[in-house]
Amino acid sequence: MKVLVFGSGGREHALVWKLRQSPRVSKVYCAPGNGGICRQAECALADVKSLDSLLSVARQLKPDLTIVGPELPLTLGVVDEFTTRGWPIFGPTKAAARLESSKSFAKSFLQRHHIPTAHYAICNSMDDVIDALPHFSPPVVVKADGLAAGKGVVIAKSKEEAASVATEMLSGRMLGEAGSRVVLEECLEGDELSFLVFSDGERVAPLVAAQDHKRVGDGDTGPNTGGMGAYSTANLIDDQMRDWLVNHIARPVVTGMKDEGSEFKGVLYCGLMMTARGPMVLEFNCRFGDPETQPILMRLDSDLLEAIEASIEGRVSDGDFRWSSEASVCVVMSSGGYPGTYDTGKKIVGLEEASRMEGINIFHAGTTERDGAFYTSGGRVLGVTARAADLPAAVKRCYQAVFSIGFEGAHYRTDIAARALQK
Ligand code: AMP
Ligand code: GLY
């Protein structure tokens, strides 16, 4: 079976790595891929912002199955286009992907279906913001309605700051069209949890939970990023909590989407805050998380292809996954300056030595290969991922590998999973 993966990040590298282990996969393609992926899959040029480009790649490669990494093609309707043509593809339709592409849709949906989430107000204008602000106490979370690659959320310390951020968003100056509507939200406190499930439109099967580290700096300081590291352990949540999250969040979402005529198939990523009032939904993504996928797939002992087929064919069940009880950790190495501006083209050294270390996988994100050497080409460059018997061992192993890799201006957090280790 020939499988095509769309995307070019660490998440896609992890998907390619895992799919290659599937006994029924004879060939893995990736479009456009990156330096590391192109060592493990046949890469094809593609622009994930263009449906025409993706359709043309698929027409040329004729995969038996396509898996979509990033959100943009999903929200543009790549699944709808493939399905019309009878081409098997894993992911939600454009209508179902609104759970990620419109925060106002997601919040109203949660309210309609009585699924726990922060208090909010949807604002189409500054008049709406001025009317809504008295109902919030600071800090106030201001969110752009549309896709903003992790840059669409500001936690404003005062109402004045919230109003000024909302002005910037609504004017289009801050995030363009994505900010033409904003959502104000109550600020929640607690530990964040990434809870992903596979769905076939009706049933759900949870993956192991993971925790992301979104801020760029140690101690959760500095601006939000796409994610600077993540870990997954068997005791991040217990069975009772997992069942609660399935019964009160994931399944009601899938049932609600079906009832509303937008069946959700694919990966539903529930971004949760574990508050004193119980778990609450911060956001949905309609795809695998990055970097959560790297540690999650490192713990998957069963066949990823089988689980994906179960989703497409409408027979998802808990038995689709077999997980290791070991722990896994991913530390992202980024270009200095990310998530702001940064330089690229820096030579990466130490990769071979690090990849030979036991229990280590180095998933590439922003890299290119030239004459047998790897160079940086993006903000997040590598996701160094370790699996070991327990979390302390996995963290130690992961940083040993990170320390042996270098490139000019390299940045990484030194405290991935540190809070869990303290507990
Ligand atoms: P989102 O894109 O909605 O997940 O927001 C990105 C990040 O902003 C989340 O992972 C949280 O760290 C933070 N965030 C979003 N909404 C809230 C909220 N209501 N309260 C506190 N933090 C939030
Ligand atoms: N790690 C957060 C995300 O994938 O959006």
CA 226–ligand 2 middle distance (angstroms): 6
Question: Which whole-number Å values give the CA distances from 25 to 1, 58, 303, in the listed order?
Answer: 5, 17, 10
Q: Which atom of ligand 1 is the closest one to the Cα of 118?
A: 19
Domain positions in the chain are 2-91, 120-186, 191-320, 327-422
CA 166–ligand 2 middle distance (angstroms): 23
CA 153–ligand 1 middle distance (angstroms): 7
149 lines ligand 1 (CB under 6 A): no
Nearest bound ligand to the CA of residue 155: 1
**Range 2-91: architecture per CATH:** 3-Layer(aba) Sandwich (3.40)
CA 60–ligand 2 middle distance (angstroms): 30
Ligand 2: residue of 15, 193, 207, 212 to mutate (most ligand atoms within 8 A of CB) is 212
* Residue nearest ligand 1's atom 6 by CA: 153
- Alpha-carbon distance of 9 to 161, in angstroms, equals 34
* Residue nearest ligand 2's atom 4 by CA: 289
- Alpha-carbon distance of 41 to 27, in angstroms, equals 8
Pinpoint the alpha helices (H) of 20-122: 37-40, 51-61, 71-76, 78-84, 98-101, 103-112
12 lines ligand 1 (CB under 6 A): no
CA 120–ligand 1 middle distance (angstroms): 13
**Bridge-based pairing state of the strands 380-388 and 327-335:** antiparallel
Q: What is the pLDDT along the chain (423 residues), one digit of tens a residue?
A: 999 999 999 999 999 999 999 999 999 999 999 999 999 999 999 999 999 999 999 999 999 999 999 999 999 999 999 999 999 999 999 999 999 999 999 999 999 999 999 999 999 999 999 999 999 999 999 999 999 877 789 999 999 999 999 999 999 888 888 889 999 999 999 999 999 999 999 999 999 999 999 999 999 999 889 999 999 999 999 999 999 999 999 999 999 999 999 999 999 999 999 999 999 999 999 999 999 999 999 999 999 999 999 999 999 998 889 999 999 999 999 999 999 999 999 999 999 999 999 999 999 999 999 999 999 999 999 999 999 999 999 999 999 999 999 999 999 999 999 999 998
Q: How many residues does the chain have?
A: 423
- Alpha-carbon distance of 167 to 65, in angstroms, equals 44
Query: Which position has the token pair 């896709």?
Result: 147
CA 185–ligand 1 middle distance (angstroms): 9
* Residue nearest ligand 1's atom 7 by CA: 153
271 lines ligand 1 (CB under 6 A): yes
Q: Which residues are paired to 329 by β-bridges? A: 231, 386
CATH superfamily of 327-422: Phosphoribosylglycinamide synthetase, C-terminal domain (3.90.600.10)
* Residue nearest ligand 1's atom 15 by CA: 282
Does the 120-186 domain belong in CATH 3.30.1490.20? yes
192 lines ligand 1 (CB under 6 A): yes
CB 138, CB 163: distance < 8 Å: no
Residue 303 is encoded by which pair of tokens? 């066949």
Nearest bound ligand to the CA of residue 139: 1
- Alpha-carbon distance of 257 to 241, in angstroms, equals 23
Q: 202: closest CA among 249, 255, 244?
A: 255
CB 352, CB 10: distance < 8 Å: no
CA 289–ligand 2 middle distance (angstroms): 4
Q: 337: closest CA among 375, 381, 292, 293?
A: 381
**What's the pTM value of the predicted model, to 2 decimals?**
0.97
- Alpha-carbon distance of 63 to 6, in angstroms, equals 12
Q: Which residues are paired to 192 by β-bridges? A: 273
CA 147–ligand 2 middle distance (angstroms): 12
Q: 91: closest CA among 263, 238, 334?
A: 263
Name the phi and psi angles at 3, rounded to 5.
-120, 135
Q: Could you report how far apart the first and last alpha carbons of the chain are, in Å?
A: 45
pLDDT of 223 reads 87
Q: Which atom of ligand 2 is the closest one to the Cα of 212?
A: 1
329 lines ligand 1 (CB under 6 A): no
Ligand 2: residue of 147, 214, 290, 296 to mutate (most ligand atoms within 8 A of CB) is 290
Please name the fold of domain 191-320.
Answer: D-amino Acid Aminotransferase; Chain A, domain 1 (3.30.470)
What one-character-per-residue DSSP string does 283-346 give? EEESS--TTTHHHHHHTB-S-HHHHHHHHHTT---GGG--B-SSEEEEEEEEETTTTS-----P
Domains 191-320 and 327-422 share a fold: no
Task: Specify the amino acid at residue 288.
Answer: F
CB 70, CB 78: distance < 8 Å: no
Nearest bound ligand to the CA of residue 267: 2
Residue 184 is encoded by which pair of tokens? 């104000």
CA 315–ligand 1 middle distance (angstroms): 33
Ligand 1: residue of 186, 269, 273, 292 to mutate (most ligand atoms within 8 A of CB) is 273
- Alpha-carbon distance of 177 to 322, in angstroms, equals 42
Question: Which whole-number Å values give the CA distances from 213 to 138, 297, 367, in the listed order?
Answer: 23, 18, 22
Residues flanking ligand 2, CB < 6 Å = 212, 227, 285, 289-290, 292
CA 142–ligand 2 middle distance (angstroms): 18
Query: Which position has the token pair 């050294």?
Result: 349
Q: 402: closest CA among 345, 342, 361, 341?
A: 361
